Chains A and B, each alone.
Chain A
Amino acid sequence: MTAGLWTQWMLPGIWITVQLTLYSAALATVVAFAVGTARTRRARPVRFLAGLYTEIFRGTSALVLMFWLFFVMPSLFGWALVPMWAAVLALGLSYGAYGAEVVRGALNSVAPAQREAAVALNFTSWQRLRLVLLPQAVPEMIPPFSNLLVELLKGTALVSLLGVADVSFAAYLVRLATQESARIYSVTLVIYFVLAFALTRGMRTLERKTRAGAGVVATPGGAR
């Protein structure tokens, strides 16, 4: 692979992949917290709608959703999306649905006495969530979120099929130019592996920070 191909395609491709991961992760986090907390609410319609959302978006294939947002939305509703944003929307919405299950599980795993104590102290439901439940639930969410983030990173490779110039797309072009398939795809796989490794490391640091912030002392199986 020549230097020109690196600076022309591969490096910008890596940057696009990183951007896609960050934007989709941001959208997925918002969706996950919104839908996940909605599923723990008492009002039945709210719970039902949130449940429907997770079932539908977990049931569909991210790639089909991406194609649908890109090819069908314009003709059906008259909105056209740039491929990049169709990709971010598809990844964010479907991984957000997976994340919502994580948020719900973590909120439900907070000891019921904590919720009752917050009620007894006359906290509003927003205060209850923000000051009592989330600080304890967030550290529990981080390991599964870390797995989802790696899945999301891997999912960004799908955008190359829409013609977004990410690493996978760059690899495809470089292969066409040089015909060195084995070398190029090995390098690409290693790039993804390094990115995934960096993400996992970052999430582990975040977990330590949030745990310290919540004042949680590791007591396996204790304090239930």
Chain B
Amino acid sequence: MNGWDWSAVVDFMPRFRDGLILTLRVLVLGSLLSFTLGLVWAIGFRAGTRLVRWPVHAVTEFIRNTPLLVQLFFFFFVLPEWGVQFSGLTTGTIAIGLHYSTYTAQVYRAGIDAVPAGQWEAATALSLPVGRTWTAVILPQAIRRIVPALGNYVISMLKDTPLLAGISVLEMLQQSRLESASTFQYTEPLTVVGIAFVLIACPASLLMRALERRLVH
């Protein structure tokens, strides 16, 4: 049993900064991937033919109902067997983006369903081509409503980035483990990381709540 040692906190700072930067990088790239892929799934949900709709439903439901950690291991160990050599960081970013795309797909779907039917009819009446209908009429109205919900998933994604430590990506948690392994100080690095998550996530979720009030209602 030993107490709290501020010098261990100071010693941890360089590693912590590297970990934080890497975490944020994973978060930004993973979010972009999940936003893009989620939209693809959401458009797939509305496809005219069952041949597209059913597989999209099946795949997204499967990904959404299985643990991200196991998916990470799946990609980390199986992709090299298929001859694809990615770093842990790339694999992790892709896996987390793919996992969260199945959540954002549901958000997009709700947003698209909430656009009044009159808008679709008006686009048809004006004989807008399908592409213009989506980009100029439906999506601008849908996305405005779903920004807060997407933001909440970005926050969830932030809280899932420590899982990448499992495939030895040097994000915040893994940096704290390395620090502990070299200095035998277990208390301070892990506590700093835990507090960092709360300090980032709480203001971000307050911001999302404020956005929700402004954009949705």
Residues in A with CB closer than 8 Å to B201 are 58-60
- Chain B residue at smallest Cβ distance from A154: B67
CA distance A69 to B130 in the complex (A): 54
Tell whether, in the assembled complex, residue A63 and residue B70 are in contact, meaning their CB atoms are under 8 Å apart: no
Residues in A with CB closer than 8 Å to B62 are 189, 193
Tell whether, in the assembled complex, residue A65 and residue B194 are in contact, meaning their CB atoms are under 8 Å apart: yes
Residues in A with CB closer than 8 Å to B163 are 63, 158
Query: Can you list, as one digit per residue, whether each of B108-139 has a CB less than 8 Å from chain A (1) or not (0)?
Result: 00000000000000000000000000000000
Q: Does A11 contact B (CB under 8 A)?
A: no
Chain A nearest CB from B76 CB (Å) reads 9
Chain B nearest CB from A5 CB (Å) reads 16
Q: Does A188 contact B (CB under 8 A)?
A: yes
Contacting residue for B73 out of A75, A155, A171, CB 8 A: A171
Most buried by A among B62, B68, B74: B74
Residues in B with CB closer than 8 Å to A186 are 74
Known contacts A78-B1, A168-B69; is-contact A59 B74 (Cβ 8 Å): no
Tell whether, in the assembled complex, residue A60 and residue B197 are in contact, meaning their CB atoms are under 8 Å apart: yes
Query: Can you list, as one digit per residue, whether each of A25-64 has a CB less than 8 Å from chain B (1) or not (0)?
Result: 0000000000000000000000000000001101111111
Known contacts A61-B159, A161-B166; is-contact A55 B66 (Cβ 8 Å): no
Number of chain B residues close to chain A: CB under 8 A = 40
CA distance A60 to B193 in the complex (A): 9
CA distance A56 to B199 in the complex (A): 9
Residues in B with CB closer than 8 Å to A160 are 69
Residues in B with CB closer than 8 Å to A120 are none
CA distance A56 to B68 in the complex (A): 23
CA distance A193 to B60 in the complex (A): 12
Known contacts A59-B202, A182-B78; is-contact A188 B65 (Cβ 8 Å): no
Tell whether, in the assembled complex, residue B173 and residue A64 are in contact, meaning their CB atoms are under 8 Å apart: yes
Chain A nearest CB from B207 CB (Å) reads 13
Known contacts A154-B66, A189-B74; is-contact A68 B202 (Cβ 8 Å): no
Tell whether, in the assembled complex, residue A76 and residue B187 are in contact, meaning their CB atoms are under 8 Å apart: yes
Tell whether, in the assembled complex, residue B173 and residue A67 are in contact, meaning their CB atoms are under 8 Å apart: yes
- Chain A residue at smallest Cβ distance from B177: A67
Chain A nearest CB from B100 CB (Å) reads 13
Residues in B with CB closer than 8 Å to A67 are 173, 190
CA distance A65 to B201 in the complex (A): 14
Can you report 27 A-B residue pairs in the complex whose CB atoms are below 8 A from each other?
A55-B198, A55-B202, A55-B205, A56-B198, A56-B202, A58-B205, A60-B194, A61-B158, A62-B159, A67-B173, A68-B194, A72-B190, A75-B1, A75-B187, A76-B3, A78-B1, A150-B65, A154-B65, A155-B67, A156-B67, A175-B77, A185-B74, A189-B70, A189-B71, A192-B65, A192-B67, A196-B65
Q: Does B183 contact A (CB under 8 A)?
A: no
Known contacts A61-B159, A61-B160, A168-B69; is-contact A68 B190 (Cβ 8 Å): yes
Residues in A with CB closer than 8 Å to B81 are 181-182
CA distance A171 to B62 in the complex (A): 18
CA distance A196 to B66 in the complex (A): 8
Residues in B with CB closer than 8 Å to A150 are 65
Residues in A with CB closer than 8 Å to B78 are 181-182, 185
Residues in B with CB closer than 8 Å to A15 are none
Q: Does A157 contact B (CB under 8 A)?
A: yes
Tell whether, in the assembled complex, residue B69 and residue A75 are in contact, meaning their CB atoms are under 8 Å apart: no
Q: Does B180 contact A (CB under 8 A)?
A: yes
Tell whether, in the assembled complex, residue A168 and residue B162 are in contact, meaning their CB atoms are under 8 Å apart: no
- Chain A residue at smallest Cβ distance from B199: A59
- Chain A residue at smallest Cβ distance from B64: A150
